Structure 1
Amino acid sequence: MPSWLSRVENPWKQNPWFESVAVAQQRARERLPAPVYGALVAGSERGQTVADNQAAFGEIGLAPHVAGQTQERSIGTRVFGQDVSLPVLISPTGVQAVHPEGEVAVARAAAARGTVMGLSNFASKSVEDVTATGATTFFQMYWTGDRETMVQRMTRAHRAGARGLMATLDWSFSMGRDWGSPEIPEKVDLKTMVRMAPKVATKLRWLSTFAASGVVPDLTAPNLAPPGGAAPTFFGAYYEWMTTPPPSWDDVAWMAEQWRQISGTPFVLKGVCRVDDALRAVDAGVAGLSVSNHGGNNLDGTPAAIRMVKPIADRVGHQVDVVMDGGVRRGSDVAKAVALGAKAVLIGRSYLWGLAANGQPGVENVLDILRGGIDSALRGLAVPSVQDLTPEHLLVPEGFHRELGGSVPQVSAGL
């Protein structure tokens, strides 16, 4: 039965299926308490970068054919040593309190749709619970704590079955949002629930989901718990990050080598914006990198990620897998990123809106929307495979690309 007919037959019941990421966002806005929704959409300072992440995709046009399209099209690819059914990976995001199953629901969706699950070490679910879903999991770490602590966390992730490690080093915790920052409580206890009751009392569907599961939103980070110890709160994790000296390129090389010795699986550096940093990353021994500005939550004024993909992919894409994240909302966005040299994209807000709207099926819904959009782009462009996409399939305005640090011919780790 068509989805529209089910809505006509029962107009009082909202169909859980949605037809676009924009609708998923609207459902999330309606369902979530304002502080929770605000945490999903906020960018740093004036929000210039988070806005440009999306707007930049709209500047790129497509050049379709009127005939000659193939009946069958392939959108599968191989990235970071993994075969995936579409060039869309789950980006690691922090505490996912928008749904009681959080990262476990997202991992099940990733497994069901044949893609990679990125798990943050700030996640609300343990790496053991996530890998138990059968999802191909890449564990993500920040540069926090001493080296012994970092090795312990890497070892735990490997033993749990992680197939790769993502290091996120671009987070400067630049805040000062012009519209104010959403409140994040230290923990969810009775006192907190009473104080925040006016903000959540009107979100009965969201509350009922947690009530039915018998849990309250978890704001701790179990993957940062020391052996035999308690998991820190978000603010405890933030304090550890604040008191850890920033890493050097020698530290990046050390991290990559430690993971190689522990696991032998890919080490990916996330947050690269500059060509010279990409060259240093290759020198440091990374297997892949993500062109990213932390979803607009790092330094405001950083160019949109899609503007920086081609300059970086042109320089290092023949040596390592280059992916990107930031602003992806449609399958055509994915096609544009791949045409400019990315092997795949990472999505963050998009799947979180799906999770908030409808749990695991909502995440699957988002992935299906992107899959359909990629296929439509391939059909219109008369391209049989996503791997055949090139810049010639696009209309890119002059001056679109941002080649940051591109004057450096070659550099070495540690410089």
Structure 2
Amino acid sequence: MATPAIFSRIENPWKQNPWFESVAVAQERARKRLPKPVYGALVAGSERGQTIADNQAAFAELGMAPHVAGHQAERSLGTTVMGQSISLPVIMSPTGVQAVHPDGEVAVARAAAARGTVVGLSNFASKSVEEVVAANPQTFFQMYWTGDRDTMVQRMQRAHAAGSQGLIATLDWSFSMGRDWGSPEIPEKVDLKTMVRMAPQVALRPRWLWEFGRTGQIPDLTAPNLAPPGQDKGPTFFGAYYEWMTTTPPTWDDVAWMRETWHQISGKPFMLKGVCRVDDALRAVDAGVTAISVSNHGGNNLDGTPAAIRCLHPIATAVGDQLEVVMDGGVRRGSDVVKALAMGARAVMIGRAYLWGLAANGQAGVENVLDVLRSGIDSALLGMGLSSIDQLTPELLVVPEGFHRTLGAPGSHGAAATPAPRATAAS
């Protein structure tokens, strides 16, 4: 679609200093820029929002014990995740349709590449896996358990052919989506009728409208990575959602099948995202996965699930020597990253934080978010007298009594271990 002449001749009338010093400032700029339903879709958690609130509040309960002297002049922030070397322990979590900016997932991929890290691409994304891998060869493709096995194999084959370096399976998603404050309106598709109906809300955010107008695009709410072979157009977001709702939930044997099938297709690593319990982490080991992400789906799954950072250390202690452990949920600053690494994570995944950067200033805004986190990580290492993130341990934190939530382990507080059989992966 050609750029309308009126937009091509107008310089951005809202141009301002694009740099921001914190993720909180990026969030505020995103709130002012985005139409209310779009912003609401980013911040909303499920039900009363208890889990999404705890994801952030829990980090504030953890303290640090800095040194007054003996600081290290040079500090190393690099690590590896699923075979990919990255310059800082932060990777981009896969998120659905990124209609906060015309370039969407491609802008995020370019920003991650510019800062030397991995991008995760949702199969509910608005940009194709081919486009995103072209922008960042360090791409992990993410899949939900949707459709039949033949369909899932086809999607894995496409991701591998495009150059994906790993697969992320996200299974922690339930029907618990009702929100006490009401869910934001997400249209089935953006057509003329929809634009007329939502025009009053969009008109209140002219900067967002201008950004799309100058590129000649309208927000795309379809999922190209779910398109059948030989077709370019995928289902709408709600079509994809319906496929997920009508697919029988996976068993642990299904997880093992998914991991083994991906390995046969690509030989590349496999991550299971959404682990909150020790017994589930042990089953993930049995299923042969390369990595797990300790996660509660950013507060969008079962409300009342503890913050991911509370569940991290017990899980890392139980399985951290058998697979890679990363964490996502509530990370907003570099010190949060350092706390997660001290608790046993190899790296963290961020979602809302980079989406706010994307909304605030496109690719440069995402780079800005990564720079903010990098600076915060470096400052924390400096203050604690460390020369590398590899030196981080729980003993370097001030951890209040009762902070950890050890779920699914004998004698733990919270859910007891489930005696169901543990899956065995195919060799």
Contact 2:119/2:136 (CA < 8 Å) preserved in 1? no
Q: How does 1:304-323 map to 2 (within 5 A)?
A: 304-323=307-326
Q: Which residue of 2 aligns with 1:191?
A: 193
Contact 1:61/1:394 (CA < 8 Å) preserved in 2? yes
How far apart, CA to CA, are the structure 2 residues paired with 1:235 and 1:213? 26
Question: After superposition, what is the alpha-carbon deviation per residue over 1:363-383, rounded to whole angstroms, capped at 9, x for unaligned?
Answer: 000000000000000000001
* 1:412 aligned onto 2:422: yes
Displacement of 1:48 in angstroms is 0.1
How far apart, CA to CA, are the structure 1 residues paired with 2:17 and 2:179? 35
* 1:401 aligned onto 2:404: yes
Displacement of 1:135 in angstroms is 3.6
Displacement of 1:134 in angstroms is 3.0
Supply the AA of the counterpart residue of 2:394: P
Q: Evaluate the alpha carbon distance shift between residue 335 and residue 278 of structure 1 in structure 2; reply closer, same or farther with a 3 A threshold.
A: same
Question: After superposition, what is the alpha-carbon deviation per residue over 1:187-222, rounded to whole angstroms, capped at 9, x for unaligned?
Answer: 000000000001110111100110111110000000
Displacement of 1:345 in angstroms is 0.2
* Secondary structure, aligned partner of 2:91: strand
How far apart, CA to CA, are the structure 1 residues paired with 2:134 and 2:54? 37
Contact 1:119/1:140 (CA < 8 Å) preserved in 2? yes
Question: After superposition, what is the alpha-carbon deviation per residue over 1:203-246, rounded to whole angstroms, capped at 9, x for unaligned?
Answer: 11100110111110000000000012331000100110011000
- Structure 2: give runs of 5+ residues left out of the alignment: 1-13, 411-416
Q: Which residue of 1 aligns with 2:361?
A: 358
How far apart, CA to CA, are the structure 2 residues paired with 1:259 and 1:93? 21
Q: How does 1:241-280 map to 2 (within 5 A)?
A: 241-280=244-283
2:384 maps to which of 358, 372, 381:
381
Structure 1 residue runs of 4+, over 6 Å off?
Answer: none
Q: How does 1:175-214 map to 2 (within 5 A)?
A: 175-214=177-216
Q: How does 1:11-410 map to 2 (within 5 A)?
A: 14-229=16-231, 230-407=233-410, 408=417
Supply the AA of the counterpart residue of 1:15: N
Decide which moves more: 74-83 or 275-284.
74-83
Decide which moves more: 43-52 or 220-229.
220-229
Contact 1:248/1:414 (CA < 8 Å) preserved in 2? no
Displacement of 1:148 in angstroms is 0.2
Displacement of 1:414 in angstroms is 6.2
Question: After superposition, what is the alpha-carbon deviation per residue over 1:372-397, rounded to whole angstroms, capped at 9, x for unaligned?
Answer: 00000000000100111001110000
Displacement of 1:317 in angstroms is 0.5
Displacement of 1:115 in angstroms is 0.4
Supply the AA of the counterpart residue of 1:248: T
How far apart, CA to CA, are the structure 1 residues paired with 2:81 and 2:170? 18
Contact 1:33/1:203 (CA < 8 Å) preserved in 2? yes
* Secondary structure, aligned partner of 1:165: strand
Paired positions, count: 404
How far apart, CA to CA, are the structure 1 residues paired with 2:47 and 2:163? 38
Contact 1:45/1:178 (CA < 8 Å) preserved in 2? yes
Contact 1:173/1:297 (CA < 8 Å) preserved in 2? no
Using structure 1 for the length normalisation, give the TM-score: 0.96
Displacement of 1:13 in angstroms is 5.0
Q: Which residue of 2 aligns with 1:9?
A: none
Contact 1:50/1:327 (CA < 8 Å) preserved in 2? yes
Supply the AA of the counterpart residue of 1:412: R
Contact 2:129/2:162 (CA < 8 Å) preserved in 1? yes
How far apart, CA to CA, are the structure 2 residues paired with 1:324 and 1:134? 22
How far apart, CA to CA, are the structure 2 residues paired with 1:174 and 1:199? 27
Supply the AA of the counterpart residue of 2:400: P
Supply the AA of the counterpart residue of 1:377: A
* Secondary structure, aligned partner of 1:359: helix
Question: After superposition, what is the alpha-carbon deviation per residue over 1:237-269, rounded to whole angstroms, capped at 9, x for unaligned?
Answer: 011001100000000000000000001111000
Question: After superposition, what is the alpha-carbon deviation per residue over 1:57-82, rounded to whole angstroms, capped at 9, x for unaligned?
Answer: 00000000000000000011112111
Supply the AA of the counterpart residue of 2:360: A
Contact 2:278/2:315 (CA < 8 Å) preserved in 1? yes
Question: RMSD over aligned Cα, in angstroms?
Answer: 1.3
* Secondary structure, aligned partner of 2:135: coil
Contact 2:112/2:136 (CA < 8 Å) preserved in 1? no
How far apart, CA to CA, are the structure 1 residues paired with 2:260 and 2:65? 44
Displacement of 1:176 in angstroms is 1.2
Q: Which residue of 1 aligns with 2:9?
A: none
Supply the AA of the counterpart residue of 2:406: E
* Secondary structure, aligned partner of 1:322: strand
- Structure 1: give runs of 5+ residues left out of the alignment: 1-11
Supply the AA of the counterpart residue of 2:181: W
Paired-residue identity, %: 77
How far apart, CA to CA, are the structure 1 residues paired with 2:126 and 2:218? 12
* Secondary structure, aligned partner of 1:226: coil
Question: After superposition, what is the alpha-carbon deviation per residue over 1:298-325, rounded to whole angstroms, capped at 9, x for unaligned?
Answer: 0000000000000000010001000000
How far apart, CA to CA, are the structure 2 residues paired with 1:167 and 1:409? 22
Supply the AA of the counterpart residue of 2:423: A
Displacement of 1:186 in angstroms is 0.3
